[in-house]
Amino acid sequence: MNRTDRLYALVEELRAASPRPRSARMLAARFEVSVRTVERDLAALQQSGVPVYAVPGRSGGYVLDRRRTLPPLTITPAEATALAVGLNALAGTPFAADARSALHKVLAVMPERERAAAAEMAGRVQLLVPAAGAARSAEPVVPAVLREALTAGRVLRLEYGDREGALTSREVEPVAFLGGDEHWYLAGWCRLRQAPRGFRLDRIRAVEALDERVPARHVDLSELDTLGSDLVPLAEFGV
């Protein structure tokens, strides 16, 4: 069994046993590898976002939170390939890294035969990319704290640089991400300017999520001329 298959099998072994823990020694015997190898595999799963937790004590071990995982998916190789092609469109957006992570999680819970067929089909798909040297916006680096604050509705404190590089500290009530081919922005209510503002992600030098919740406030994003084009909610695309 190669490592990829073993990682998948480890998840399924822990899923079947949950909520009872499985010790590293027990898992090592099950997959005929060393305890050290199993511990490295479990650490890799944890780092990739799989909700595996260590339970201390004599009867402890490792537990998978079944509420936060998917069982093996009845997804076809063509569907998996379509997901990969569609997620490729997120390159250059704040969600590119999350798209890659999501695809890896989907593949990890597919049955082995379907996963192999998806890999074979994906090998027959080629995407056109800009020629070498062609201008293309760099993928914006978005701190996790910024994305999480937008979801949780928490006020942010930004260190923001303007086009001349001058820095200001601002408290911002985040509302949305605005994006296009050239730049991505965080839109929100700027308490410094007392008005809606769009903050270019590549000009945010530091960000801190405050304990304060975003108050109820209507912010009209149409007042922003940041993108110079109409705003189309992502929900219109079925998300």
Q: Token digits for 129?
A: 């990319």
Instruction: Give the Cα separation of 91 and 139 in Å (integer).
Output: 7
- CATH fold group of domain 144-237: SH3 type barrels. (2.30.30)
207 CB-near residues (< 8 Å, 6+ apart): 143, 145, 146, 149, 156, 157, 158, 159
Q: pLDDT tens digit string along 194-221?
A: 988 888 888 899 999 999 999 988 888 7
Confirm if 25 and 58 have CB atoms less than 8 A apart: no
Distances 237 to 80, 157, 185, 230, 234 between C-alpha atoms, Å: 19, 31, 20, 15, 6
Q: What is the pTM of this model?
A: 0.55
Domain ranges within the chain, ordered by starting residue: 3-68, 144-237
Instruction: Give the Cα separation of 217 and 215 in Å (integer).
Output: 6
> Which pLDDT score is estimated for 157?
95
Q: pLDDT tens digit string along 16-51?
A: 888 899 999 999 999 999 999 999 999 988 887 888
Which CATH number is associated with domain 3-68?
A: 1.10.10.10
Q: pLDDT tens digit string along 181-192?
A: 677 888 889 999
Confirm if 103 and 97 have CB atoms less than 8 A apart: no
Asked if 3-68 and 144-237 have one fold, the answer is: no
